[in-house]
Amino acid sequence: MVKICCIGAGYVGGPTMAVIALKCPEIQVAVVDISVPRISAWNSDTLPIYEPGLDEVVKKCRGKNLFFSSDVEKHVSEADIVFVSVNTPTKTQGLGAGKAADLTYWESAARMIADVSKSNKIVVEKSTVPVKTAEAIEKILTHNSKGINFQILSNPEFLAEGTAIQDLFEPDRVLVGGRETPEGQKAIKALRDVYAHWVPMDRIICTNLWSAELSKLAANAFLAQRISSVNAMSALCEATGADVSQVSHAVGKDTRIGPKFLNASVGFGGSCFQKDILNLVYICECNGLPEVANYWKQVIKVNDYQKTRFVNRIVSSMFNTVSGKKIAILGFAFKKDTGDTRETPAIDVCKGLLGDKAMLSIYDPQVSEEQIQRDLSMNKFDWDHPVHLQPTSPSSMKQVSVVWDAYAATKDAHGICILTEWDEFKTLDYQKIYDNMQKPAFVFDGRNIVDVAKLREIGFIVYSIGKPLDEWLKDMPAVA
Ligand code: UDX
Ligand code: ADP
The pLDDT averaged over each successive group of 10 residues in the chain (480 residues) is 95 97 98 97 96 97 98 97 92 87 89 94 87 84 88 95 97 97 97 98 96 95 98 97 97 98 98 94 95 98 97 95 97 97 96 95 96 87 60 65 97 98 98 98 98 97 95 72
Q: Has 35 been labeled as part of a binding site?
A: no
- Measured in Å, residue 379 CA sits from the centre of ligand 2 at 20
Question: What are the pLDDT digits (tens) for 6-18?
Answer: 999 999 999 999 9
383 lines ligand 2 (CB under 6 A): no
Round to whole Å and give the CA distance between 352 and 350.
5
Residue count of the chain, please give it.
Answer: 480
Q: Has 9 been labeled as part of a binding site?
A: yes
Where b means 16+ CB within 10 Å and e means fewer, 381-410 reads bbbbbeeeeeeebeeebeebbbbeebeebb
Domains of the chain (ranges, CATH numbers): 3-199 (3.40.50.720), 242-473 (3.40.50.720)
Strand (E) or helix (H) holding 152: strand 150-154
What integer pLDDT is reported at residue 344 of this predicted model? 97
pTM here is 0.94
Identify the sign of the CA torsion 465, 303, 356, 421. Answer: positive
* DSSP assignment letter at 254: S
What integer pLDDT is reported at residue 395 of this predicted model? 46
Q: Has 246 been labeled as part of a binding site?
A: no
Residue type, 162: G
Residue nearest to atom 5 of ligand 1 (CA): 158
Residue nearest to atom 13 of ligand 1 (CA): 160
What integer pLDDT is reported at residue 387 of this predicted model? 58
